[in-house]
């Protein structure tokens, strides 16, 4: 079965569904084909229950019909079946060049894995298969290239470095160059680009790689981000990236329609090695422990005025760009009149294109023992290094609290009224219970059981 198709948009765009019955070791496909018009934008392909999106291919071909030449561009989304069985593809729509294209649904049957059958030649009525292997014809000259890129050329210890491996496909080479066995090449990127002397946070790989259109020296390229991660160096040693290779399949220039298929070459692209210099932080007593980044302080109190013996909550939140994991909670010095308990920590991370943004929140509980005015700036502060300004800075609390009432050195700890656990304390009885009480209850219980047993035996023998 060739699959179903739906023509629309002046017979210039078609959506083609793959065969309804395929073995589990083959991809199900949905394709969008454009005739005699360029692709400007393409919406998302549908999700199919029971399948996972895999690679996406983009091919261009020229079809000769008499004196006319038709140029076709086909974008194919591959779907990998998760298990055997029957699955339903619901009706869906894909936006192509701003137009919403509708497609009917179908039922897909996934069969057991197909057995390999050795054949001496192509079956009757079919063209010879395309051969993928070592180059059997002269590769076409390519202007596409592979590039390892970083957002900075030199950084400080602890400063974030964004690393990206990108492939730039020259627009006229669409349909000539295609990704080859990318799932097997991806682990090699991770292995070669790993740094032993850096804190690493990798971006989650996506099932499909969507390109961006860029113009370099008046030439149009499709940029594919193959691999991305964030590095935070732990020492002033340089970060060295070796050359990385990417293998692509290269189809010779498409010939006239129905011409004999030509072999496909494998062509390798290699990135240039790259080294990023790492500078040590300036001298400072806390140089080995301070976080590095651009931060600001957000703080809050549940109230400003309290009575002695009353607890209150204070939040010290560090917000900005940098390695949030390296931010330690402020350790306030002891202060007469206030008891400070270890904080609860909460991290909110937001990864963007090239930096890690977010916030780290420290929530402290304090207990007022003596009346007076307390400046929290003498208790809560954080020293950090700003790599943009190349200097140390301090986030310091600007809040103060007032405590009223008589001195309460021996008063009970009174946590916030919102804590449901401590609400139970006021509701329970405060009477002392003897440690021997349970032994006495056990003795009385045994006496009652023995008495009932004797009555039972008396009634039994009386009969």
Tell me, yes or no, whether 97 and 52 share the same domain.
yes
Does 385 reside within a domain? yes
Taking alpha carbons only, the member of 187, 212, 166, 151 closest to residue 352 is 151
More confident: 417 or 316: 316
Determine the average pLDDT of the residues in 291-307.
91
* pLDDT band for position 282 (cuts 50, 70, 90): very high
Does 94 reside within a domain? yes
Whether the predicted pLDDT of 260 surpasses 80:
no
Determine the average pLDDT of the residues in 91-97.
92
Whether the predicted pLDDT of 257 surpasses 80:
no
Q: Do the beta carbons of residue 241 and residue 163 sit within 8 Å? A: yes
Number of domains in the chain: 3
Q: Give alpha helix (H) positions in 294-406.
A: none
Distances (CA, A) of 294 to 117, 265, 322: 62, 49, 7
Tell me, yes or no, whether 381 and 311 share the same domain.
yes
Tell me, yes or no, whether 269 and 365 share the same domain.
no
Tell me, yes or no, whether 100 and 199 share the same domain.
no
CATH of the domain at 79: 2.60.40
Whether the predicted pLDDT of 11 surpasses 80:
no
Say which residues have a Cβ less than 8 Å from residue 217's Cβ, sequence separation at least 6: none
């Amino acid at each position: 079965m060739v699959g179903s198709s739906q023509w629309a948009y002046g017979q210039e765009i078609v959506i083609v569904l793959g065969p309804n019955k395929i073995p589990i070791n083959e991809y199900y496909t949905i394709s969008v084909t454009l005739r005699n018009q360029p692709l400007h934008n393409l919406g998302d392909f549908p999700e199919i229950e029971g399948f996972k999106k895999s690679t996406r291919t983009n091919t261009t071909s020229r079809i000769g019909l008499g004196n006319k030449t038709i140029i076709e561009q086909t974008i194919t989304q591959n779907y990998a079946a998760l298990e055997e069985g029957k699955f339903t593809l619901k009706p869906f729509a894909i936006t192509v060049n701003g137009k919403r294209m509708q497609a009917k649904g179908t039922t897909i049957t996934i069969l057991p894995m197909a057995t390999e059958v050795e054949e001496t030649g192509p079956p009757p009525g079919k063209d010879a298969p395309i051969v993928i292997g070592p180059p059997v014809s002269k590769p076409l000259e390519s202007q596409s290239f592979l590039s390892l890129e970083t957002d900075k050329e030199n950084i400080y210890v602890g400063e974030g470095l964004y690393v990206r491996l990108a492939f730039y496909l020259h627009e006229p080479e669409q349909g000539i160059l295609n990704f080859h066995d990318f799932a097997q090449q991806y682990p090699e990127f991770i292995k070669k680009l790993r740094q032993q002397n850096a804190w690493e946070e990798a971006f989650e790989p996506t099932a499909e790689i969507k390109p961006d259109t860029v113009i370099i020296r008046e030439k149009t390229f499709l940029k594919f981000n193959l691999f991305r991660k964030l590095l935070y160096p732990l020492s002033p040693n340089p970060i060295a990236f070796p050359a990385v290779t990417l293998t692509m399949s290269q189809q010779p220039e498409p010939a006239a329609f129905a011409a004999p298929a030509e072999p496909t070459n494998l062509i390798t692209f290699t990135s240039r090695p790259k080294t990023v210099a790492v500078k040590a932080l300036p001298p400072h007593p806390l140089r080995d422990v301070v976080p590095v980044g651009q931060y600001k302080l957000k703080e809050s109190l549940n109230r400003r005025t309290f009575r002695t013996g009353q607890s209150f909550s204070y939040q010290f939140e560090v917000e900005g760009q940098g390695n949030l994991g390296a931010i330690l909670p402020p350790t306030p010095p002891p202060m007469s009149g206030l008891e400070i308990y270890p904080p609860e920590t909460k991290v909110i991370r937001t990864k963007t294109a090239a930096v890690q943004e977010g916030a780290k929140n420290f929530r402290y509980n304090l207990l007022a023992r003596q009346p007076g005015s307390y400046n929290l700036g003498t208790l809560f502060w954080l020293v950090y290094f700003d790599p943009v300004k190349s200097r140390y800075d301090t986030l310091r609390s600007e809040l103060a609290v007032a405590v009223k009432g008589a001195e309460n050195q021996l008063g009970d700890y009174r946590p916030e009224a919102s804590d449901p656990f401590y609400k139970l304390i006021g509701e329970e009885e405060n009477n002392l219970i003897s440690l021997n009480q349970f032994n006495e209850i056990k003795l009385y219980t045994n006496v009652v059981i023995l008495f009932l047993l004797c009555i039972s035996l008396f009634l039994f023998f009386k009969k």
